[in-house]
Structure 1
């Protein structure tokens, strides 16, 4: 594998600070880096294929002052730049950081077009590809030189320590640290590190538990009104449970203020709400467990970034701290039905903040959701193409059915799940919109739509030859492997099918539609449900007949596209599937004869109902797009 990277030159420990083609290594024996006539920097392999390039600079030879093209220069600051003869930088690596921030570099947020610079950890110590953790801002003012707000963009610059080599680094475990090189020990020392060891790691205290670091020892505790799910056990992996059942019609007597708390994960961000409107938003919704109101004016000087946060599910990854150099914000959470937090917000919190495109804009862009703009439809709603937004981006918009309870669950699942997932074989959720009883999800637009269009349309079958199909198979397998094993949460998709495999312009596959997905805990291997959801023909028999599902339920669905499979015990894990696809010499197990399944543990009432419904199954009929 060949990468284009930057590292420290004068220390014995090879320390990389930037990698250009982190997700696209050169697999041939040699590579070529060149500046084009349009002043773009291009990395290509020995066959001439472009592996990585800078953004289109649109600078021709005639535009370059004295007629010369740009030159690539590595500055002593660690910044790699494309520089015109007149000194103008048309591109620089500091605007595209990977996992490291060097002195003089900046993290910025543009609150007008809702974009931000962020660093993303490596996948492992020796794999620079995109990992699970990202950092887009920091609340640690100790090492900050200045915070600048120019009316459109806010950025934080880190100061240089005279005579020392220093940088901020986000490692593959999720720890962010300030590191200083020691010539005496020839190692990097950490003067600051979070979350470090203890219960500050993501979700360590389980649902409705929080990490208390106000004392000398970090410890998990339950929120007021809750008790450990495992009784007096010190194992908080299952979190906490309510002492009393939640009541929908609560009053002010049930409000609980929790000062100095970090807001939990999996919130839904609602824009342009006052404190009072935020409380009403939650009080009118019986499925709302909590709400919070955060205001960041103390950090971002002149700009008011107040927002309403609501939780319709479990509260995960909360915490309580003293000063600790961590910024405190004003926010609100609720207890039995209403309550509030006064919170702190940490720099490595991965919650995605949505800009919330207005319902009016989406209505206008789709011609009032006219069917001529519809890409497809399913059990939960319709999907429309929005041609061009203000920033020039094409997107797909899913408009959920207003009268469907499952549609609400689908919306919540998509927002709290897919917004956290980062993988090239998973579709990206860009935004969401809530307007009265309307709920809409905005995704990246994939021009080649879904795989079923190519497989089941006789006119399209010839478009995808075997090499392309094999690439699609591998992409789907890697996406599933990420969901099952490599993401920070084990996720079962539960509705994998050809219509949920979308294809981008280069025919790369992306798994979509996480409305039926389930998160598994660290100790869970399988679960059961009486409400079976999914698509007939893709469901594993033990799931369709008994409601039992696991990672191997997805394996069955994956296998429907490839080969006939038998018993759950004979199905391989996705890690083995990926290994078999990537390694031609790996021995393949001999397929066993398929077996028949029969339903078990049904009472008489369920037997009578099974003619028309299995365990209140919600099935989708296959229909080519």
Structure 2
């Protein structure tokens, strides 16, 4: 080893080459790196492969044999194996291949570390065949392989969890905790996992599996976008996480996790118990069964499960001389199928009825289910690990004694009679109440009729620039509006992420039935934004108007909203000054278009950081036009008795007198500009007791000719001092107290582009105190809330 040389290819470890702790090997595409690393809060050293940064380790060689000194070496040994040596030149890890003489190691673009026979080019050993805790893209995960969790985030040694494929009858993914089942995916039917509702949607649609039923299987990701990286990682707490690398934030976006509720834990309710996370208690016995131990059940210890109340026909026939009535089946809808399903080509049935016949002929069959791809699945042992789903899942048919089925029928009839009598009395009382309230509701009804007429007019107009979607198509795109796809909730209603069949991602804003303002916002947004086209305005793709459904469909913004970056200490670093200035300029262009250049002259009235969306290239787009107002050709100002907007961004004349104009948006833009420069919210600024807002603090620094304390230290650089100073100047001009003193957006745009060099001096900005705002006129049921009717709008995206 003393005669070795340190000369190598970028992605290759050739014979006689030494790789020490501070040296690395990189894949040809630069995405993966092989080298020694030390986990955070640990002094131990390991050989590993990471993606982009050491915080994203995807494979570790010497998991249980860490190096404790900085003298570790990676090299090709004399017998041709890739080895890790400690400071005493002892082997702590090896590829351990018996037939390896003339070999070298290479880190491939896929992240696969391979030992290659230099004569034949054959792979003698691959890291993909010895996975750690991460399944990488196109890495085949076979039934004889396992992922093993780390002990903790700072200790990659073997933890208590492992993950693998169980192929006995119906192939499933299992997570084991110390060799006991902890979580399972449900059977794989050729396209998705039956026990994971999200797997048939976009959450897990990159999975593929190859193999024969009852034999060996390979599970792997297949994703067409080679520049993106998907991983399936087993966390140290036993959770499987599907992650996608976000190249803009340099962070992992979590798309799916195996354990979302306590019901996902294997066998939570014991044999013949069913778990429903939305119920209280979460566990109950299947119909026809009762707790095995009432005392334990009362203490919410459900592990002993349930037992059958009435014996099945075969058991009854043994004890009685005369034949009893035949068993039947009770349908349990939308469930995670129990463990130990038996499915094979010999069990293939043409339909569910055929499957039922087969089960009845088999005296040991206690339940069955049918899937078009898997055919007939039957259960001959205790039904364990059943979970109730609100969407997805499979229908399970449970074998019960005839008496239990008859009891179920009677129980269905009895509740019908009493509610009918009660319902009749209730309807009579309700009719009298409605008659008394009719006059009070007349005005409200007329308003609803007016709304419906406007919606009807939208349908008839069918603007060529606006698409009308069928509700069914949007339900499919959002997996039936699954909570896993929910992005946020606003005054209008919930917002969901969706994906059309062609792969186009969308944001779906669904009107809540409880939102009166939502109908007005829906109509307003469709009537206004459907006529607007600009690169700095969010694009409304279309809407859905079917019966009681009003839905808006937007383009999906990959990087969420501006407030998620400028007000988050962890995300602020991703917005340097050049990027922030680009955002400022883009917002100004969008406002200028609304005020002057569009076919319609529009005042936004709710410009704020959360209403600025960022596309994949961090370009800003103004969103949420639910409170926008249209101005006529000669109109410059309007008045309202109902103040809407968001505290901290509302101009003083609007807050106190209800007057709004272009200058109202200019004021909001000025606040937003100062927030972008400082990285601080205007309404949560407490650094200076004399300055209740960021505007006051900025003004104090300006008149003292020292604005550096205002600037976010992450972006300050003497090179950009003049540009930042100019933007601060523009921001203060926009937030002046009198509307007539503020510049119009055309002038702001010229100032930003240095077309206007000599900027006028700003006057003292408006200090909008909470006392002033609390007395603002608000003729609505929300008068005690001085904020937007849509505090959380479409732009307020949240991580799932």
Question: Which protein shows a greater Rg?
Answer: 2
Please give the range of the TM-score, normalised by the shorter of the 2 chains: 0.3 to 0.5
TM-score (norm 2): 0.33
**Greater helix fraction, Structure 1 or Structure 2:** 2
TM-score (norm 1): 0.42
